[in-house]
Structure 1
Amino acid sequence: MTQKPSAADIRQAKIDNAKMRDRDLATKLGISEAELVAAHVGSRDGETITRINPHPDQLMPLVSKLGEVMALTRNISAVHERVGTYGEYRSGPHAAMVLGHEIDLRIFPKHWVHGFAIDQVTENGTRRTLQIFDAAGDAVHKIFMRENSNHDAWVEVVAELTLDDQSEGVETVEATPVEPAKQNPAKRDILLEEWGKMTDTHQFMRLTSKLGMNRLGAYREVAGEKWVRPLAISAVETLINKVSEAGQRTILFVGNPGNIQIHWGRLDNIKNMGPWVNVLDERFDLHLRNDHVAEVYAVEKPTKRGPAISLECFDARGMTIMQIFGMRDPKNDNDDLAQWHQLIADLPDLNVEEVSA
């Protein structure tokens, strides 16, 4: 087993690779991002890094004092950045929520294990962030102060969250592998029957769990039936561009095991750069590694308000990269999402891509 670099070695590597993103440098060093940050705990060279209480019950009620900030949640294939103010927080032992039109989170507290407040003087001014990591040292959620944030509240918030332990370094565990698709052919008919009886999208995960499946496994099990249509890989980029052209509002989910971040609204300014498909709007950015997409499905789930139709994409391991639903026009009570449904219907099927390949 290769020995990990010492805290001093990590700090020197950071100096030697000053322009490299933390995530990329951590990968280069063979450590987690949390270990990279923890090696810098303390004050030195215009930077102060403080260990903080990472639990959302302590963190979220205080973060609202910071005013307008940028919330960032990512997985290995997508980054979701949303500008706004943290609003109502609802605690729960297994799942918690931040509710708001701009910053909307579904939190799984057991994964909020390590927390840091980072205060840096850079050539572009002061940069302040709160960063949360899971037990493996992977980023769960980050909060970035902006120019118009309440910087007067920063010291108070950090002081209230500061832990007694301010030692260098952090202990991490092996990351839990992504669960591959779980199918159960013996329960396929029951899945189809119960699927048609759903009245709320949240019933889906309970249904699949009861039948010994997971999300991707269920989609594969009934692919080609009424509820699930396999799509070409190109459908993801196509939909993002078509949504922009049509001015269609969306509900867009990006998450990791510890947090899901939700965007409500339009996707206007689309820029493709190499493998990245980017949405670069005034208060929302999405960065998607399109080359990581291995499976794409159009999925319909019955609800009391009508069908909830989504595009959902997965990587080669079976990890959910992103989900996109149509959003009703808040100014139009009669919006039946017909435009959204047509955008999904027009997407290329998987076999179209196979034939043209």
Structure 2
Amino acid sequence: MPDTRLPTVLPIADPILSVFPGWENGAARPTRLEVDWTDALRKLDVLGTVRVVTGNRSITHEKTGRFGNVDGNGPALIVLNREVDLRVFPRHWAITVHTPETDGEAEAIRAFDRHGRAIHAIHRTAETNAAAWDAFLILHRAADQDAPALEPLPAPAAERPDAEIDVEGLRAAWSAMTDVHEFFGMLRTFGVGRRQALRLAGPGFARELPAATLLPLLEAARDRRLDIMIFVGNAGCIQIHTGTVDHPAAADGLLRIDDAGFTLRAIQARLSSAWVVHKPTDKGGITTVELYDDQGDNAAILCGQRDEDKPERAEWRALAASL
């Protein structure tokens, strides 16, 4: 008999991550939807204002805004509508359900991967177009309302031993980068994991810091009124905040940002390290602060806001260097 509960990825009070209601009969029973997300994402502007949530096992990222300005096709899509800013990889959006409002949780359209891990959620708000929302649910209601059969999680890929990595070649390729998007290809070329590459790159490219660096970084950005970008995601979706941060705080093991239109939650015990990373570009380079969890996975990336064809802002680079 298949498991009738989609597992959660993070046990904190957030709508995308709360305990899934299961498939037993009752008022809270979810409704399965059949959605071609490559097509549907281009039409979600009709919903009006929604609340979107993307997360991983350590951090959740929530924005309020509207869909629109969707570009791309095939394996990757971009939603670039300022407040709703997403990088979407549709092949991971394997299971979609609608969950009704329960115990104060707004109803939502939720996407999961084939293993049942949460990818993304779209929550109805008081400003959502009710007719368009209901029409989406009717159009995409699946004929099969049985619980989805989930595939077992694959075993985590083991890193190659450092001794097998061409470290000098890696450093030379890193130094020769002219665009940050070359970074992922470089990792594949040298068969090296992301955090492993940071360890091997040397202090000229990557410098490790305690995970607790995140709060003072956010506080410094707040105090300087610095526009930053915060990327949080998983294999199927990356969600981005661009702008200032007004209310960072930490209490009871959670780091929180509670701003108008933007909320972030991080379980501090699950964050194991932070890195200041420099990637060369033809505009002088990009500096990021990358957070990793206790399983070695990337949990978030922060950088200074910049225009695509402009150099990195000196204020951000100075802040990162001061950490």
Q: Same fold (TM over 0.5)?
A: yes
The offset of 1:118, in angstroms, is: 2.2
Q: Tell me which residue corresponds to 1:127.
A: 106
Contact 2:50 2:64 in 1 (8 A): yes
Counterparts of 1:5-20 in structure 2 under 5 Å?
Answer: none
- Deviation larger for 307-316 or 173-182: 173-182
Q: Tell me which residue corresponds to 1:50.
A: 31
- Select which of 87, 98, 106 maps to 1:106: 87
Change (3 A) 1:255 1:23: closer
Rounded Cα–Cα distance in structure 2 between residues aligned with 1:4 and 1:23: 21
Q: Quick one: which amino acid aligns to residue 320 of structure 1?
A: N
Rounded Cα–Cα distance in structure 2 between residues aligned with 1:71 and 1:248: 24
Q: Does 1:346 align with 2:322?
A: yes
Rounded Cα–Cα distance in structure 2 between residues aligned with 1:207 and 1:341: 24
The offset of 1:61, in angstroms, is: 2.4
Q: Tell me which residue corresponds to 2:68.
A: 87
Q: Which has the higher helix share?
A: 1
The offset of 1:196, in angstroms, is: 1.4
- Select which of 281, 285, 300 maps to 1:303: 281
Q: Tell me which residue corresponds to 2:305.
A: 327
| Identity between Structure 1 and Structure 2 (%) | 25
Q: Does 1:289 align with 2:270?
A: no
- Select which of 234, 237, 249 maps to 2:215: 237
Rounded Cα–Cα distance in structure 1 between residues aligned with 2:197 and 2:60: 26
Q: Once the two structures are superposed, what CA deviation does each residue of 1:230-252 show, in whole Å capped at 9, x if it has no partner?
A: 11232122211211111111111
Please say which structure displays the higher CA radius of gyration: 1
The offset of 1:166, in angstroms, is: 2.0
The offset of 1:297, in angstroms, is: 0.8
Q: Once the two structures are superposed, what CA deviation does each residue of 1:170-222 show, in whole Å capped at 9, x if it has no partner?
A: 21112234445556544111111111111111100001101111211111112
Q: Quick one: which amino acid aligns to residue 87 of structure 1?
A: G
Q: Tell me which residue corresponds to 2:41.
A: 60
The offset of 1:97, in angstroms, is: 2.0
Change (3 A) 1:72 1:114: same
Rounded Cα–Cα distance in structure 2 between residues aligned with 1:236 and 1:211: 30
Q: Does 1:154 align with 2:133?
A: yes
Change (3 A) 1:142 1:22: closer
Counterparts of 1:271-286 in structure 2 under 5 Å?
Answer: 271-286=249-264
Rounded Cα–Cα distance in structure 1 between residues aligned with 2:176 and 2:245: 32
Rounded Cα–Cα distance in structure 1 between residues aligned with 2:83 and 2:260: 12
- Select which of 212, 216, 219 maps to 2:198: 219
Rounded Cα–Cα distance in structure 2 between residues aligned with 1:159 and 1:272: 42
Contact 1:183 1:218 in 2 (8 A): no
Rounded Cα–Cα distance in structure 2 between residues aligned with 1:22 and 1:246: 32
Q: Tell me which residue corresponds to 1:117.
A: 98
Q: Quick one: which amino acid aligns to residue 317 of structure 1?
A: Q
The offset of 1:223, in angstroms, is: 3.5
Rounded Cα–Cα distance in structure 1 between residues aligned with 2:40 and 2:18: 27
Contact 2:2 2:150 in 1 (8 A): no
- Select which of 228, 243, 251 maps to 1:265: 243
Contact 1:328 1:336 in 2 (8 A): yes
Contact 1:178 1:317 in 2 (8 A): no
The offset of 1:89, in angstroms, is: 2.2
Contact 1:184 1:211 in 2 (8 A): no
Rounded Cα–Cα distance in structure 1 between residues aligned with 2:171 and 2:258: 39
Q: Does 1:165 align with 2:141?
A: no
Contact 1:180 1:317 in 2 (8 A): no
| Structure 1 counterpart SS, 2:73 | coil
Q: Does 1:194 align with 2:170?
A: no
Q: Does 1:136 align with 2:115?
A: yes
Contact 2:99 2:107 in 1 (8 A): yes
Give the number of equivalent residue pairs: 315
* Structure 1 vs Structure 2 CA RMSD: 2.6
Where in structure 1 are there 5+ consecutive unaligned residues?
Answer: 11-18, 26-32, 348-357
| Structure 1 counterpart SS, 2:274 | strand
Where in structure 2 are there 5+ consecutive unaligned residues?
Answer: 6-12
Rounded Cα–Cα distance in structure 2 between residues aligned with 1:245 and 1:300: 24
Rounded Cα–Cα distance in structure 1 between residues aligned with 2:310 and 2:44: 37
Change (3 A) 1:146 1:261: same
| Structure 2 counterpart SS, 1:127 | coil
Rounded Cα–Cα distance in structure 1 between residues aligned with 2:282 and 2:16: 45
Q: Quick one: which amino acid aligns to residue 130 of structure 2?
A: H
- Select which of 228, 250, 267 maps to 1:250: 228
- Deviation larger for 281-290 or 53-62: 53-62
Rounded Cα–Cα distance in structure 1 between residues aligned with 2:263 and 2:73: 29
Q: Once the two structures are superposed, what CA deviation does each residue of 1:33-78 show, in whole Å capped at 9, x if it has no partner?
A: 4xx44x057xx43x56321124322431232211111110010100
